[in-house]
Amino acid sequence: MIARISSEPLDPAVVDAAVAGPKYGAVVVFTGVVRNHDGGQEVSLLEYSSHPDAEKFLTKICAEVSEATGLPVAAVHRVGKLTVGDLAVVAAVASPHRAEAFTACAELVERIKHEVPIWKRQHFADGVSEWVGL
């Protein structure tokens, strides 16, 4: 299992490989990508900050989802300054069939978004910025 907070660019292949195996017919990989807009405003940059214990929260969530589903899970969330097109989060789940992998990956991503203490500061093209998730 991979559960990591990183300041380095994310590689979906690493997260995929952490869950893939010969007994799994489905691997669902979610990539959260920095988009160029939010709420009708043009976004130029995102800046992610995390609590020092954020990785512990992420590890706990991955373990709980894995235990509840019996499936391998992995997730990495990036912190620091990210530009449009950069990956902010990569999560993966493998299962024998696709339905279980889709369901577990959706739950994993929702829990990461709501339970891991990571905050996002959006920088807009007009020079204004705002914090999200505080």
Q: What is the pLDDT of residues 81-127, one digit of tens each?
A: 999 999 999 999 999 999 999 999 999 999 999 999 999 999 999 98
Q: What residues contact residue 7 under an 8 Å CB cut-off, 6+ apart?
A: 78, 79, 80
H helix intervals, the chain: 12-19, 54-69, 98-115
Q: What is the pLDDT of residues 18-37, one digit of tens each?
A: 999 999 999 999 999 999 99
pLDDT at residue 82 in the model: 98
Dihedral pair phi/psi, residue 133, rounded to 5°: 90, 10
User: Which CATH number covers residue 16?
Assistant: 3.90.1170.40
3-state secondary structure of 116: coil
Number of domains in the chain: 1
- The model carries a pTM of 0.95
Instruction: List the domain range (segments joined by +) for residue 94.
Output: 3-132
pLDDT at residue 31 in the model: 98
pLDDT at residue 39 in the model: 87
The conformation of residue 7, written as its DSSP 8-state character, comes to S
Token pair, residue 10, equals 């994310």
Please report how many Cα atoms fall inside a 13 Å half-sphere around the Cα of residue 57, on the Cβ side.
Answer: 16
Whether pLDDT at 14 is above 80:
yes
